[in-house]
A and B are shown apart, each in its own frame.
Chain A
Amino acid sequence: MNMTDKEEHSGNKLSLLKALLKILPEDAVLHEKEDLHPYECDGLSAYRKLPMIVVLPDTIEQVQSILRLCYELELPVVARGAGTGLSGGALPLENGVLLSLARFKEIIHIDPKRRIARVQPGVRNLSISQAANQFGLYYAPDPSSQIACTIGGNVAENSGGVHCLKYGLTVHNIQQLKIITMEGELLSIGGSGLDSAGYDLLALMTGSEGMLGVIVEVTVKLLPKPERAQAILAAFDNVVKAGEAVGNIIAAGIIPAGLEMMDKLAIRAAEDFVHAGYPLDAEAILLCELDGTNEEVSEHVARVRDVLHQSGATEVRTAKDEAERLTFWKGRKAAFPAVGRLSPDYYCMDGTIPRKQLPRVLKTMAELSIEYNLPVANVFHAGDGNLHPLILYDANIPGELERTEEFGGKILELCVEVGGTITGEHGVGIEKINQMCVQFNSLELTHFHAVKAAFDEKSLLNPGKAVPTLHRCAEFGAMHVHKGELPFPELERF
């Protein structure tokens, strides 16, 4: 930044600060550098930027006023929940306002009869289930980050969890939203019933990564807690066999509540970390949870055990009690931090593939791992084909982060090639923006931009995230010629 830019920047900042202090109390506006640091990144810490100003409103009217002000001043705004996102979605802009929803922490109302909860966006995912527990109800989507992440962030990312094979993603478990547009208008989306009139804006908002509107209230659906849950752990001497076992369980007509796979490196990491009793000699383990009524679970446990044996499992263990069930899961839920102990840094990928492509994808990943000389641990929502390869690296070694990102990019492109997607649940953010050019053509991307413009004409909400510009794709395409074809041939090259 040259001198005049800098002066202009601080001049802008000062007048913005003044205007914001008319809307918010002093403790809700952060502008000193040391106060801004906690907001410089989300869970993807390789990308960092200090925002110009952070605001912490706690009423809908304040959010409206902030957005109206920014709309008039044409200042970009990035919404932020707990900052656990893994794709840089909440990465601030240095010339923009970071709008934290952290103070919207109230569970407004739980209606046990209709099995819904109306909550503010800053409420943590787990606290909804905790509050609903007194009624025998819970909120089904359970991302591993559920003790920290907010429901607003969950909606913005359409987050999943280990139970989404049976119970669906965020989009299947919400009924109504209140959002504020960049112009400061409060909209109610969805309704008090199950269907609503007009276009499905509820679906459009879910997974929109803070680019269409700021979510200020969420009505979630609650489910009755299952009478019983039972977990089975199966070991395999071969990853492909474990993958086939997943298909065989589904072919038997059973949809488990959760069906997770871990490979050898992930098993070892998790076992060292939480001592879940995982078999260390296995090449892969499957964790299968069955829930429902007592009778149903008994019947399904017996059938799944048979299927696993027939699929070549070397060992099949059923948790003998609730404590053991939780121990089985503890290893899986702690898999990311566990892998984090094996290496100074790790990079978590999030592609989804048609399940039958698993052997091919695992084989290619193993080859890439050798090529890039970077180990990969695999944690896999096996039931729905969502892979989380964790690439182990050391950011202190010059060039290693770049190599890791390139390797990660290759994995995502592979997912697209086999008919899958670059992101199953973590979102595109800033991280996978280049790979969007691989998954979508310029016409499709143009429509995404038009969808954004339908809500946010001036492109001020989280600009630059999730959907790449066509020029960016042309640049990326020039570097990565895909299958010998130049993407975006209609665009000029530079």
Chain B
Amino acid sequence: MSADLSQQLQQRIQHAYEAKLALQIVGGNSKSFYGRSVAAETLSLAGHSGVLNYEPTELVITARAGTPLKEVEALLNQNGQMLPFEPPAFSEQATIGGTVACNLSGPRRAYAGAARDYLLGCKIINGKGEILTFGGEVMKNVAGYDVSRLMAGAMGTLGVLLEVSLKVLPKPEMELTRLFNCSANDAIEKMHAWSQTPLPISATSFHDSVLSVRFSGAAKAVNAAVNHSGGEINEDAEKYWHDLKEHRLDFFNTDKPLWRLSLASDIESLALENSAADYLYEWGGALRWLKTDSPAAEIQAAMEKIDGHASIFRHTDQVNVFQPLTPALMRIHKNLKMAFDPHNILNPGKLYTEL
């Protein structure tokens, strides 16, 4: 399916700009739980879809923002390639635009980079209804400020993504996962020791006394790596990493607020009062999922002390979903918001009340 709705979208935003009418930008509605809620009329990107350019040997794909993520991934897969940041979809309807706007990445992120690392360029509509293009379809481009990467993670608050260009990579020839029974501290030690060696690790996780390590690459290299690492074979590894990425593991089956902590990978434990807190580690320890009823203020204060960032991923009615910014940084954020969306109509409040 392919359709170009950019004119209609542009007109609606121009209209909204004149009327100062807020819009809630929706792709496939797969991640509506993420971020603060926006009470506004919906601007749907779902119909604006289609892959515009893909040549496997150029390692670049360009697609309209409403193109389903699964369609992009299927096309890449047919050509032995992949989105290296292994994005979670959270639903069949997830779009490539929403994926970039949220800048969420999966298990491979710590070893291959995030969505923002693979974003080469984008076409957007700003809050005045102007169509702008930043970056491009080439790997190296330093002309002008890197506004396209600024869009990754901005969750639509700076512009509606119309098209995105992403760098893609060949899929590894082989992947094998090994399991190790150990304590949390041992897992931290092991993950750090291995990450200092050239072992071809592409994912790690720890929960419930089990450390999982995935190796990817040329067959010979992966076989040599698992010989070196030891550990038990995980026969159902593909499903495991997929379920982890999509939050389908039992761990994620909860009504408690689910926190996403981005922090120094070697922190052993956080000084939180609530001892019933339950963690799952990814990214060599640099990402921790935490289920807890502890108040947001306490968690975010603990994270501030260690220069980390905490966000509430699911089940929240809190004011600060994302780690609060310092006043100086917030001022720059507000200036940027004003520059791209002067009437504050694009997903207002989605990230912070002030934006």
Binding site for B on A (CB under 8 A): 112-115, 135-137, 157-158, 160, 164-165, 168-169, 171-172, 176, 181, 185, 187-189, 191-201, 203-204, 206-208, 212, 224-227, 247-248, 250-251, 253-255, 292-296, 298-300, 352-356, 381, 384-386, 419-428, 432, 436, 439-440, 443-444, 447-448, 450-455, 466-467
Once the chains bind, are B198 and A227 in contact (CB under 8 Å)? yes
What does the 1/0 interface line of B37-71 toward A look like (CB < 8 Å)? 00000000000000000011111100000000000
- The 5 A-B pairs of least Cβ separation, nearest first, read A193-B262, A454-B335, A450-B339, A203-B149, A296-B221
**With A114-B264, A355-B58 as contacts: A193 and B286 at CB distance below 8 Å:** yes
Once the chains bind, are B218 and A296 in contact (CB under 8 Å)? yes
**Would you call B291 an interface residue if the criterion is a C-beta within 8 Å of the partner chain's C-beta atoms?**
no
Q: Give the residue name and chain of the A residue nearest to B262 (CB).
A: A193
**Would you call B349 an interface residue if the criterion is a C-beta within 8 Å of the partner chain's C-beta atoms?**
no
- Excluding A192-B308, A447-B340, 20 further A-B contacts by CB distance (< 8 Å) are A113-B192, A114-B266, A164-B140, A168-B117, A191-B307, A194-B110, A195-B153, A197-B323, A198-B325, A198-B352, A253-B173, A255-B170, A299-B219, A300-B218, A420-B138, A424-B139, A436-B143, A444-B133, A451-B336, A452-B145
**With A192-B263, A421-B141 as contacts: A451 and B308 at CB distance below 8 Å:** no
**Would you call B346 an interface residue if the criterion is a C-beta within 8 Å of the partner chain's C-beta atoms?**
no
Which single member of B57, B59, B147, B198 contacts A451 (CB below 8 Å)? B147
Once the chains bind, are B218 and A299 in contact (CB under 8 Å)? yes
Task: Tell me which residues across on chain A come within 8 A of B162, comparing CB atoms.
Answer: none
Q: Give the residue name and chain of the A residue nearest to B197 (CB).
A: A224
Once the chains bind, are B217 and A292 in contact (CB under 8 Å)? yes
Task: Tell me which residues across on chain A come within 8 A of B140, comparing CB atoms.
Answer: 160, 164, 169, 352, 381, 384-386, 421, 424-425
Q: How far is the CB of B140 from chain A (nearest CB, A)?
A: 4
Which single member of B130, B136, B158, B263 contacts A199 (CB below 8 Å)? B158
Task: Tell me which residues across on chain A come within 8 A of B144, comparing CB atoms.
Answer: 428, 436, 439-440, 444, 448, 466-467
Q: Give the residue name and chain of the A residue nearest to B144 (CB).
A: A448
Alpha-carbon distance between A197 and B261 when the two chains are bound, in angstroms? 10
Q: Which residues of B169-220 have CB atoms within 8 Å of chain A's CB atoms?
A: 169-171, 173, 192, 195-200, 217-220
Q: Which residues of B334-351 have CB atoms within 8 Å of chain A's CB atoms?
A: 335-336, 338-340, 351
Once the chains bind, are B145 and A207 in contact (CB under 8 Å)? yes
Which single member of B196, B266, B333 contacts A198 (CB below 8 Å)? B333
Task: Tell me which residues across on chain B come within 8 A of A254, comparing CB atoms.
Answer: 170
Q: Give the residue name and chain of the B residue nearest to A449 (CB).
A: B339
Once the chains bind, are B311 and A115 in contact (CB under 8 Å)? no
**With A254-B170, A292-B218 as contacts: A192 and B114 at CB distance below 8 Å:** no
**With A250-B57, A353-B138, A447-B339 as contacts: A454 and B332 at CB distance below 8 Å:** yes
Q: How far is the CB of B92 from chain A (nearest CB, A)?
A: 25
**Would you call B270 an interface residue if the criterion is a C-beta within 8 Å of the partner chain's C-beta atoms?**
no
Q: Give the residue name and chain of the A residue nearest to B307 (CB).
A: A192
**Would you call B31 an interface residue if the criterion is a C-beta within 8 Å of the partner chain's C-beta atoms?**
no
What does the 1/0 interface line of B305-342 toward A look like (CB < 8 Å)? 01111010000000000111110110011011011100
**Would you call B22 an interface residue if the criterion is a C-beta within 8 Å of the partner chain's C-beta atoms?**
no
Task: Tell me which residues across on chain B come within 8 A of A384, comparing CB atoms.
Answer: 138-140
Task: Tell me which residues across on chain A come within 8 A of B117, comparing CB atoms.
Answer: 168, 171-172
**With A187-B328, A295-B220 as contacts: A200 and B143 at CB distance below 8 Å:** no
Task: Tell me which residues across on chain B come within 8 A of A294, comparing CB atoms.
Answer: 224
Q: How far is the CB of A445 from chain B (nearest CB, A)?
A: 8
Which single member of B146, B219, B309, B338 contacts A195 (CB below 8 Å)? B309
Alpha-carbon distance between A467 and B143 when the two chains are bound, in angstroms? 9
**With A114-B264, A381-B140, A447-B132 as contacts: A196 and B198 at CB distance below 8 Å:** no
Once the chains bind, are A199 and B153 in contact (CB under 8 Å)? yes
Q: Give the residue name and chain of the A residue nearest to B263 (CB).
A: A193
**Would you call B259 an interface residue if the criterion is a C-beta within 8 Å of the partner chain's C-beta atoms?**
no
Alpha-carbon distance between A367 and B287 when the two chains are bound, in angstroms? 54
Which single member of A189, A299, A385, A453 contacts B139 (CB below 8 Å)? A385
Which single member of B136, B173, B322 contacts A421 (CB below 8 Å)? B136
Q: How far is the CB of A220 from chain B (nearest CB, A)?
A: 15
Alpha-carbon distance between A453 and B338 when the two chains are bound, in angstroms? 11
Once the chains bind, are B143 and A443 in contact (CB under 8 Å)? no
Once the chains bind, are B150 and A424 in contact (CB under 8 Å)? no
Once the chains bind, are B225 and A194 in contact (CB under 8 Å)? no
Interface size on B, residues (CB 8 A): 86
Q: Give the residue name and chain of the B residue nearest to A208 (CB).
A: B145
Binding site for A on B (CB under 8 A): 55-60, 80, 103, 109-110, 113-114, 116-117, 126, 130, 132-134, 136-147, 149-150, 152-154, 158, 169-171, 173, 192, 195-200, 217-221, 223-225, 261-266, 283, 286-287, 306-309, 311, 322-326, 328-329, 332-333, 335-336, 338-340, 351-352
Q: How far is the CB of A221 from chain B (nearest CB, A)?
A: 10
Task: Tell me which residues across on chain A come within 8 A of B116, comparing CB atoms.
Answer: 200, 203
Q: Give the residue name and chain of the A residue nearest to B170 (CB).
A: A253
Task: Tell me which residues across on chain A come within 8 A of B220, comparing CB atoms.
Answer: 295-296, 298-299
Task: Tell me which residues across on chain B come within 8 A of A137, comparing CB atoms.
Answer: 196
Question: What are 27 sample pairs from A and B whose C-beta atoms fall under 8 A apart?
Answer: A113-B266, A181-B328, A187-B326, A187-B328, A187-B332, A188-B307, A191-B309, A193-B262, A193-B264, A193-B287, A195-B103, A200-B103, A201-B329, A204-B150, A250-B57, A296-B221, A298-B220, A300-B218, A352-B139, A356-B58, A384-B140, A386-B139, A421-B141, A423-B142, A439-B144, A443-B132, A454-B332
Q: How far is the CB of B36 from chain A (nearest CB, A)?
A: 13
Alpha-carbon distance between A93 and B54 when the two chains are bound, in angstroms? 45
Q: How far is the CB of A476 from chain B (nearest CB, A)?
A: 15
Which single member of A198, A253, A255 contacts B329 (CB below 8 Å)? A198
Q: Give the residue name and chain of the B residue nearest to A112 (CB).
A: B196
Alpha-carbon distance between A159 and B350 when the two chains are bound, in angstroms? 34
Q: How far is the CB of B59 from chain A (nearest CB, A)?
A: 6
Once the chains bind, are A187 and B57 in contact (CB under 8 Å)? no
Q: Give the residue name and chain of the A residue nearest to B228 (CB).
A: A293
Task: Tell me which residues across on chain B come within 8 A of A172, comparing CB atoms.
Answer: 113, 117
Task: Tell me which residues across on chain B come within 8 A of A197, comparing CB atoms.
Answer: 309, 311, 322-325
Once the chains bind, are A444 and B143 in contact (CB under 8 Å)? no
Task: Tell me which residues across on chain B come within 8 A of A440, comparing CB atoms.
Answer: 143-144
Q: How far is the CB of A199 from chain B (nearest CB, A)?
A: 6
Once the chains bind, are B308 and A191 in contact (CB under 8 Å)? yes
Most buried by A among B225, B329, B340, B351: B329
Q: Give the residue name and chain of the A residue nearest to B300 (CB).
A: A197
Once the chains bind, are A354 and B311 in contact (CB under 8 Å)? no
Q: Give the residue name and chain of the B residue nearest to A415 (CB).
A: B138
Which single member of A115, A199, A424 contacts B333 (CB below 8 Å)? A199
Which single member of B137, B195, B219 contacts A354 (CB below 8 Å)? B137
Which single member of A160, A227, A255, A466 contacts B169 (CB below 8 Å)? A255
Q: How far is the CB of B242 from chain A (nearest CB, A)?
A: 21
**With A419-B138, A451-B145 as contacts: A196 and B333 at CB distance below 8 Å:** no
Alpha-carbon distance between A199 and B320 when the two chains are bound, in angstroms? 15
Which single member of B199, B311, B324, B352 contacts A293 (CB below 8 Å)? B199
Alpha-carbon distance between A212 and B329 when the two chains are bound, in angstroms? 13
Alpha-carbon distance between A384 and B139 when the two chains are bound, in angstroms? 6
Task: Tell me which residues across on chain B come within 8 A of A201, comparing CB atoms.
Answer: 329, 332
Task: Tell me which residues across on chain A come within 8 A of B333, comparing CB atoms.
Answer: 198-199
Once the chains bind, are A192 and B264 in contact (CB under 8 Å)? yes
Task: Tell me which residues across on chain A come within 8 A of B322, comparing CB atoms.
Answer: 197-198
**With A201-B332, A203-B116, A295-B220 as contacts: A420 and B198 at CB distance below 8 Å:** no
Q: How far is the CB of A238 from chain B (nearest CB, A)?
A: 18
Q: Give the residue name and chain of the B residue nearest to A248 (CB).
A: B57
Alpha-carbon distance between A246 and B21 when the two chains are bound, in angstroms? 51
**With A115-B195, A453-B339 as contacts: A420 and B146 at CB distance below 8 Å:** no
